[in-house]
Amino acid sequence: MGDANIAIWTEKYRPKQFSDIKGQKDIVSKIEAMVKANNLPHLLFAGPPGIGKTTLSLVIARQMFGDGWRSNLLELNASDERGIDVIRHKVKDFARTKAIGEVPFKIIYLDECDALTKEAQQALRRTMENYTHTCRFILSANYSSKIIDPIQSRCAIFRFKPLDKDEIIAMIDHIAQQEGIEVDEQAKQALYEISGGDCRKLENIMQSCSVISKDITEELVFSMASVARPTDVKKVLELALSNNFNESRKLLLDTMLKYGLSGTDLIKQIQKETLNLDIEGRKKMELVSACGEAEFRLSEGSDEYIQLEALLSRFVLSGSED
């Protein structure tokens, strides 16, 4: 399945009205009031990926400019075009021209703007200031702390949050109904846990699963998402705590091969399942700390198999103390 097919699937369910956007009611209501008053400041949307920042920006453009929204919107991804020349030329050339239609300004949407270099951000600061009468900027960032303070002070900042479980389940049901697929309750729970409130990730996993089968099950979801089942990871940890190191290691390696997981991916799942183990609270905290140490060593280039075995040995030692 190519990126083009995923883009078509995502666009199919992308909201066109403010009322269609899920999970960000407070932010949407404020933005909608600004648009109705035709008084839009520079905006900074901050938050994790896949929760509606780009979608809301496109809805703003659609609602303000109608059918001519594409002519009055410049959309750039700063991850690709992050140098100072982009700000000096492409952005400035678009900003200095007047909007087409009744709205007195155009909109420039800079996605992933936390990837802009410091020099580019300094140039953007002056551009935002000089062309306010003809242009409004909407900046999107995963980490607002990477945006320099002068830019933040020029923007109204809105912080987005991941979608709640009820909103994710409602989206799953809507897509399943529209596409004629069946999703059982265990699969819905798995989709929610894997997506982590990221609706883009949710849609990509559902589309991948629907290609394989119209009946989406928990096992299919985990296999397509390359995520181990929580029960498998928990079994590995319980074997280690019961002093069965060899069996625990064998099951861990089998799980890695079955789902094609890297050591870092598996450590993140181990850390999550550690909190669900039936052991004393202090031991949980010690084992979570051990997960952090192993993850750091992997990021520094250590051998993942050695680090995973060392992590399992910490679980064995913790279990033997009882």
Angle at 64 between CA 143 and CA 42, to 5 degrees: 35
CATH 3.20.20.150 fits 15-159, yes or no: no
In this prediction, residue 75 carries a pLDDT of 83
Distance CA 202, CA 198 (A): 6
In terms of C-beta density within 10 A (0-12 exposed, 13-18 middle, 19 or more buried), how is residue 313 classed? middle
In this prediction, residue 44 carries a pLDDT of 92
Residue in 188, 239, 244 with CA at minimum distance from that of residue 216: 188
- What CATH fold (topology level) applies to the domain 230-320? Zinc Finger, Delta Prime; domain 3 (1.20.272)
Domain chopping of the chain, boundaries: 15-159, 165-224, 230-320
Are 102 and 72 a contacting pair, CB within 8 Å?
A: no
Distance CA 150, CA 58 (A): 25
Which residue type, as a one-letter code, is found at position 202? L
CA atoms within 13 A on the CB side of 173: 7
Tens of pLDDT, residue by residue, the chain (322 residues)? 445 554 554 555 566 778 778 778 888 889 889 888 888 889 999 988 888 888 888 899 888 888 888 888 888 876 666 666 666 777 777 877 777 777 888 888 888 888 888 888 888 888 888 888 888 889 999 888 888 998 899 889 999 988 888 888 988 998 898 888 999 899 999 999 888 888 888 888 998 898 888 899 888 888 888 888 888 899 999 999 998 899 999 999 988 888 788 888 899 999 989 988 888 888 989 999 999 999 999 888 888 889 999 999 999 998 877 6
DSSP 124-154: HHHHHHHTTTTEEEEEEES-GGGS-HHHHHT
Cβ neighbours around 35 below 10 Å, total = 18
CA atoms within 13 A on the CB side of 96: 9
H-helix or E-strand spanning residue 36: helix 25-36
- What CATH fold (topology level) applies to the domain 165-224? Helicase, Ruva Protein; domain 3 (1.10.8)
In this prediction, residue 12 carries a pLDDT of 56
